[in-house]
Amino acid sequence: MSDSTASWILAAQCPSLLGTVDVVTRFLKESRCYITEQHSFDDRISGRFFIRTEFRPEAEDFDAEAFQSDFAERAAEFDMTFELTRPGTRLPVVIMVSKADHCLNDLLYRYRTGQLPIDIRAVVSNHPDLEPLAAWHNIPYHHLPITPETKAEQEAQVWEVIEKSGAELVILARYMQVLSSAMCTRLSGRAINIHHSLLPGFKGAKPYHQAYDKGVKLVGATAHYINDDLDEGPIITQGVAPVSHTDYPEDLVAKGRDVECLTLARAVALHVERRVFLHARRTVVFDR
């Protein structure tokens, strides 16, 4: 994961207009801020412009509030919306899991070692199995069982945990429940899910076994924002690993788990570093 803690991040988007890059770079120069990284993209189909800039203030008395207020006046001319992120920001998150522990374990390791700039406030699960793992990391664990009859009540409890924890991002690290339409709406743009990217070819139980039966040559995973279409939300990142006829179903499962961990961690890093812009049903992603 890249270390962006030394720089401020300015992420913005607006209609495609002449001077969109200039309004950002000129303001930063006038504010005595040195640009350390910059990405921009103009979508000629939608007429939408996206820009992400990392910068380092030259002045020791840099005033973030004054910076935002002054830039807002310039940005208004372009109908530009923007977000300023401080150096060292650790995004508060809640992780949701079921019984599979590989993605949770990977996220906890990266969190513990500082590889991911996140602050895990709680783990929520519909099973009790992974509580010892969360406890070892001193993270609150909420076992909230669910049945078709109690789904609304359980989701209300989940939402209470999210609200009380102050989480700005929810990570579905192999949470094997379908969220309701209401919950998807509440979490729009702030919940990331991971699934094997063998979909839609191998739906249902044991997808890797189905893939083995078909003799696939690649296994993979997709990390995406959730929406009301099951596993079809805006994609953030994808990963693949080659397999061959020498790999048995258990080998595909093992390789798939590794790809899921890496793909999810990468998606979370891209999100917290403000490298992802939601753009209708798609995303604009400024990778490292």
- Answer yes or no: do 203 and 236 share one domain: yes
- Answer yes or no: do 156 and 259 share one domain: yes
- The 3-state DSSP class for residue 38 equals strand
Residue with tokens 């109690």: 150
- Count other Cβ atoms within 10 Å, centred on residue 32: 10
- Answer yes or no: do 156 and 202 share one domain: yes
- Answer yes or no: do 263 and 204 share one domain: yes
Cβ within 8 Å of residue 180, ≥6 positions away? 151, 152, 155
Task: Order across the sheet with 8-15: list the strands.
Answer: 33-43, 48-57, 8-15, 81-85
Return the CATH number at 271. Answer: 3.40.50.170
The pLDDT assigned to 231 comes to 65
- Answer yes or no: do 281 and 200 share one domain: yes
- Answer yes or no: do 165 and 46 share one domain: no
The pLDDT assigned to 4 comes to 40
Range of the domain at 30: 8-85
- Answer yes or no: do 112 and 58 share one domain: no
- Answer yes or no: do 258 and 198 share one domain: yes
Cβ within 8 Å of residue 254, ≥6 positions away? none
The pLDDT assigned to 240 comes to 93
- Answer yes or no: do 55 and 106 share one domain: no
The CA distances from residue 21 to 18, 27, 113, 191, in Å, are 8, 10, 36, 30
Q: Which of 85, 120, 149 represents a domain boundary (last residue)?
A: 85
The pLDDT assigned to 74 comes to 96
Q: Which of 48, 68, 85 represents a domain boundary (last residue)?
A: 85
Q: Does residue 2 lie within any of the structural domains?
A: no
Per the structure, the count of domains in the chain is: 2
The CA distances from residue 167 to 120, 154, 171, 205, in Å, are 8, 18, 10, 32
- Answer yes or no: do 138 and 256 share one domain: yes
SS3 track for 104-145:
HHHHHHHHHCCCCCEEEEEEEECCCCCHHHHHHCCCCEEECC
Q: Does residue 1 lie within any of the structural domains?
A: no
Catalytic-labelled residue, pool 42, 119, 231, 258: 231
Q: Does residue 210 lie within any of the structural domains?
A: yes
Query: Are 116 and 89 in contact, with CB atoms under 8 Å apart?
Result: no
DSSP 279: E
- Give the pLDDT confidence of 102-145 residue by residue, as tens digits: 999 999 999 999 999 999 999 999 999 999 999 999 999 999 99
The pLDDT assigned to 281 comes to 86
Low-confidence ranges of the chain (pLDDT < 70): 1-5, 198-200, 230-231
Q: Does residue 222 lie within any of the structural domains?
A: yes
DSSP 88: T
3 an active-site residue? no
- Answer yes or no: do 146 and 193 share one domain: yes
C-alpha 124/C-alpha 159 separation (Å) is 10
Structure tokens at 173: 């690290």
- Answer yes or no: do 135 and 183 share one domain: yes
- Give the pLDDT confidence of 49-68 residue by residue, as tens digits: 999 999 999 988 899 999 99
Residue 267, Cα to own-chain centre: how many angstroms?
Answer: 5
Q: Does residue 175 lie within any of the structural domains?
A: yes
pTM of the model: 0.92
Residue 45, Cα to own-chain centre: how many angstroms?
Answer: 25
